[in-house]
Amino acid sequence: MIRRFSLFFAFKTLFSKSGSGALRHIRGAIIGAAISIIPLVVVLEISDGMMQGIVDRYMEISSFHMQVTLADSEAVEKEEELLEKIGNIEGVTYAFPYTQGGGILYGEKGRTGITVRGIPDTLFKEDEGFRRYITVKEGEFDLSEPDSLIISTETAQRLKAGVGEEIKLLTAKVIPGRPMLLRPTRFKVKGIYSSGYQELDMLSAFITQEYGERLFKDDSSRMIGVKVVSPHTGELFAAADEIRYLSDGIRVATWDVLNDSLVASLNTTKKFLVFIMILIMGVASVNISSSMIMMVISKRQDIALLKSAGASDRDVSSIFVLTGLFIGICAAALGTAFGIAAAININEIIDFISAVLHFDLFDADYYLEKIPVELSLYKLSGAAALAVLFAVVASWLPARRAGRINPVEIFRKH
């Protein structure tokens, strides 16, 4: 027997109208395998988009591309000079001074811990990356007045405060040899924003740079935020190395170091989800194996005829392995197509399910308001290839069993 005949017989077996019982099992195996591929495709296509969306928000709003900490008083005195030198480094698009410290925001109806950043009032207008992830829900992002305060929707809900209301910020100052000094400062809410990621919003409020310098006088609170053209390339690290040589009194940390625990956590979650989806595909492949066994049983007489005509054990086995390959290809094509459709419409699907069940399917504190989708041909091809591999492996044992059938025994029984 030749391979071309094995291929023809496998194709004929899969699509012939005879033996409808076995074919029903095969079609069921294709549908089952296709369904198992859909969640894997969805996870692969939305996980990277979600991770990138979360990391980008932290990188543009919280840690910035780089943090240059002015570690001593000499560096603080040379802040203007350092800003000019950093701005002239190749690849750097924006450098600005800011302060950062912790405190408690409280009003008449609530209170919450917060990280407060004193930023230039021009940052929102001049930094496209910062502005991209800040959506002003109420009021405006305006820090032109000294007592201006910008809070997130999450913080506003906790404080039950709106635009124009007065909020107090309680900060602490440590004086060596003396008790901790607590100081409340009055602010007026000028705007309420959302970054689309509530866990980040809970941590961030913005005040004027001048007020930040007054509240957080510790040198470690004085920083320079740096933005570069390509924060995900070697350009970031080249710029960081140049900045380190500018002064001995500064410390430079890039966004990947500042957000290391966040990135590690997201990567671990992604790997775990992908592993679970692969296990589901493995379980679905058992259905393919069962269907192939049923087909071998229903085709015993045909196998006996092929063997009596000169087909070897290997030839017969190859027919059923090729049948498994066809099943895998069909399942991969269907599952990938439906998986792409589900991934593209994942936000609408979640909204629909949440509306039907009358509760939020995902906790908004830990997920983006809108899940971004990044289609990757490389990952789609990998998922499809894995599905085909599972199908071929699942058909191998039934194929070996078919190859060992003794035609004499079959003819004796029938």
pLDDT band for position 410 (cuts 50, 70, 90): low
Q: Do 46 and 132 have their domain in common?
A: no
Same domain for 36 and 81?
no
For the stretch 154-196, pLDDT in tens is 899 888 888 989 999 888 776 666 666 778 889 999 999 988 8
Domain count, the chain: 2
Confidence grade of residue 1 (pLDDT, cut at 50, 70, 90):
very low
Whether the Cβ atoms of residue 247 and residue 83 lie closer than 8 Å to each other? no
Residues 242 and 286 in one domain: no
Best CA proximity match to 337, nearest among 30, 107, 79, 14: 30
Instruction: Please check whether residues 189 and 278 belong to one and the same domain.
Output: no
Least confident of 144-153, 171-180, 333-342, 373-382: 171-180
| Residues 250 and 329 both lie in one domain | no
pLDDT of 71 higher than 60: yes
Per residue in 102-112, pLDDT (tens digit) is 888 988 888 88
75 & 119 share domain: yes
Same domain, 369 and 226: no
- CA dist list (Å): 305 to 21, 299, 308, 399, 409: 20, 10, 5, 16, 12
What does the pLDDT average to over 286-290? 80
The alpha carbon torsion through 72, 73, 79, 80 (nearest 10 deg) reads -160
Q: Which of 201, 230, 258 is the last residue of a domain?
A: 258
20 has pLDDT over 60: no
Q: How confident is the model at residue 81 (pLDDT cuts 50, 70, 90)?
A: confident
Better pLDDT: 152 or 177? 152
Answer whether residue 363 shows pLDDT above 60. Answer: no
Task: Quote the CA–CA distance of 10 and 169 in Å, as a whole number.
Answer: 75
Say yes or no to pLDDT of 149 above 90: yes
Q: Look-up: residue for tokens 């019982």? A: 21
DSSP assignments along 230-283, one per residue: -TTSHHHHHHHHHHHTT-TTEEEEEHHHHTHHHHHHHHHHHHHHHHHHHHHHHH
Pair 326, 404 in one domain: yes
pLDDT at 75: 67
List the Cα angle 27/28/32 in 5-degree steps: 120
Which range is most confident: 79-83, 232-236, 314-318? Answer: 232-236
pLDDT at position 251 over 80: yes
This prediction's pTM: 0.75
Over 90: is that where the pLDDT of 261 sits?
no
Residues 43, 101: one domain? no
**Percentage of residues in the chain with pLDDT exceeding 70?**
83
Contact 36, 284 (CB under 8 A): yes
Q: Are residues 112 and 166 in the same domain?
A: yes
64 φ/ψ sector (left φ>0, alpha ψ -120 to 50, else beta):
left
Whether residue 400 sits in one domain with residue 300 = yes
pLDDT digits (tens, 9 = 90+) for 42-51: 888 888 778 8
Q: Token pair of 295, please?
A: 């087909």
Which pLDDT value is given to residue 206?
A: 94
Rounded mean pLDDT, 124-131: 90
293-337 pLDDT, tens digit per residue, is 777 777 777 777 776 776 676 777 777 788 888 888 888 899 899
Q: What angle do CA 254, 259, 265 make, to 5 degrees?
A: 145
Select the more confidently predicted residue: 203 or 260. Answer: 260
How much is the pLDDT for 2? 44
Segment 344-351 shows an average pLDDT of 82
Question: Which of 199, 230, 258 marks a domain boundary?
Answer: 258
Give percent of the chain above pLDDT 90.
Answer: 13
Selected residue with higher pLDDT from 55 and 73: 55
- Looking at residue 297, its pLDDT comes to 74
What's the mean pLDDT in 358-382?
71
Closest by alpha carbon to 387, among 397, 375, 379?
379
Domain-ending residue, one of 237, 258, 279: 258
**Where does the pLDDT of residue 148 fall: very low under 50, low under 70, confident under 90, or very high at 90 and above?**
very high
Q: Which domain does 371 fall in, by range?
A: 3-55+263-413
